[in-house]
Structure 1
């Protein structure tokens, strides 16, 4: 793809985003070697912006740089996944507690609307797994925005990128969609009742069950 088709933002950022999506969509498999020459030719760019893009992805944990061997798509071990879910559980449970105690009625309505979209995507007659997980992520990120701590948001954003490397495993587990929806209902109920402790507990349970499904 010629370079002139890329947007005006920094070239390496655009390349990083394209590679990020290819990794999330499994076009670039975990553990696979990234052929820099082939990608640079396909995008019509030099190796310099590509290497800058790979540095960005390495900082996010999506790519692993190996000395004298180049860049590889990161393989997430069970330990990695457990560590990521543990941290997300702590950070997002804390955010849920903040939202329960400080969110405005309008902000809670926003979360209720997203939850309704989640319910629709999980309709038993025709569940849409991809849409469900897309809305699920929007719900979690909106909750974090409402909790309003940019440092926590940045940490969660990076951790969720690593989590996405494994998400399709949990996506296909039988009954996981319905379980996840039930957990969201419990979180939403606690938030609506402005129960800080229960909101935190329900969010931690959500991540605990998510990890079990992912393994």
Structure 2
């Protein structure tokens, strides 16, 4: 089942309130959250008949929902082939994180300049709640809390252009961000990063905050790379030679 915060995030990013057909929004939310939280794996087929049966509808709303997710990079739909969960290449993933690192560094610097003391207190409270979730090893709850934290940061900064660019990457990165947190020990590392960031914000050290959030983004990418490498090794036929890792 999707986490309770999932509908709020997907509703905004997919603009589901604008959909005239509620069933399209419901299907898009179910499939989208399944992809992001790893219940639907990259490359996995999405059977329109099975989805139609699940939601007790015709295939038309299903196709509309999948087309909506295709526009956001979560689903691949090719002629004469069944729709499937998108499977970005390693280079695509690295490119996304390279851009995201720069955008988040800018966000952190602006937050130091623009956040009020009350807003920083609010952000600290959110991070303290995330520490509790990390201690409980609740990956899904921690992940969505982290998503909400960064969304709140963009609201505080108030740079509409920056927010729009981050939103354009958001759905393509959510699956990867969730994947990075499934690595052993990653929750603890992640929340440590958030606590160091909050301290830098409170000390009004924009240069440090930008460096910290950039470093955290690089570590998240490494976790994704390691997980993908592990998944590839698990599915590699026995006896097949392992290729060297690209830089």
> Shorter-chain TM-score: what band?
0.7 to 0.9
Which residue of 64, 67, 89 maps to 2:101? Answer: 89
Give the structure 1 partner of residue 27 of structure 2. 15
User: 1:16, CA displacement in angstroms?
Assistant: 1.1
Give the structure 2 partner of residue 165 of structure 1. 175
Give the structure 2 partner of residue 60 of structure 1. 72
Cα distance in 1 for partners of 2:83, 2:90 equals: 21
Relative to structure 1, the CA distance from residue 30 to residue 172 in structure 2 (aligned partners, 3 Å threshold; closer, same or farther) is same
Cα distance in 2 for partners of 1:27, 1:169 equals: 11
TM-score (norm 2): 0.76
User: 1:168, CA displacement in angstroms?
Assistant: 4.8
Relative to structure 1, the CA distance from residue 21 to residue 185 in structure 2 (aligned partners, 3 Å threshold; closer, same or farther) is same
User: 1:158, CA displacement in angstroms?
Assistant: 4.1
Relative to structure 1, the CA distance from residue 181 to residue 27 in structure 2 (aligned partners, 3 Å threshold; closer, same or farther) is closer
Unaligned runs of 5+ in 2: 1-16, 226-247
1:135 aligns with 2:165: no
Runs (4 or more) in structure 1 with deviation over 6 Å come to: none
Cα distance in 1 for partners of 2:31, 2:168 equals: 16
Relative to structure 1, the CA distance from residue 30 to residue 157 in structure 2 (aligned partners, 3 Å threshold; closer, same or farther) is same
Q: How does 1:18-167 map to 2 (within 5 A)?
A: 18-123=30-135, 126-167=136-177
Cα distance in 2 for partners of 1:105, 1:9 equals: 41
Cα distance in 2 for partners of 1:95, 1:167 equals: 18
Cα distance in 1 for partners of 2:185, 2:35 equals: 26
Cα distance in 1 for partners of 2:133, 2:150 equals: 16
Deviations 1:110-154 (A, max 9, x none): 11111111222223xx43333222222221111111112334323
Alpha carbon RMSD of aligned pairs, Å?
Answer: 2.1
TM-score (norm 1): 0.86
Cα distance in 2 for partners of 1:9, 1:138 equals: 26
Unaligned runs of 5+ in 1: 1-6
Give the structure 2 partner of residue 3 of structure 1. none
Contact 1:23–1:29 (CA under 8 A) maintained in structure 2 = yes
Give the structure 2 partner of residue 4 of structure 1. none
Cα distance in 1 for partners of 2:40, 2:187 equals: 25
Cα distance in 1 for partners of 2:20, 2:122 equals: 31
Contact 1:170–1:214 (CA under 8 A) maintained in structure 2 = yes
Cα distance in 1 for partners of 2:156, 2:67 equals: 31
Contact 1:40–1:47 (CA under 8 A) maintained in structure 2 = yes
Count of aligned residue pairs for this structure pair: 207
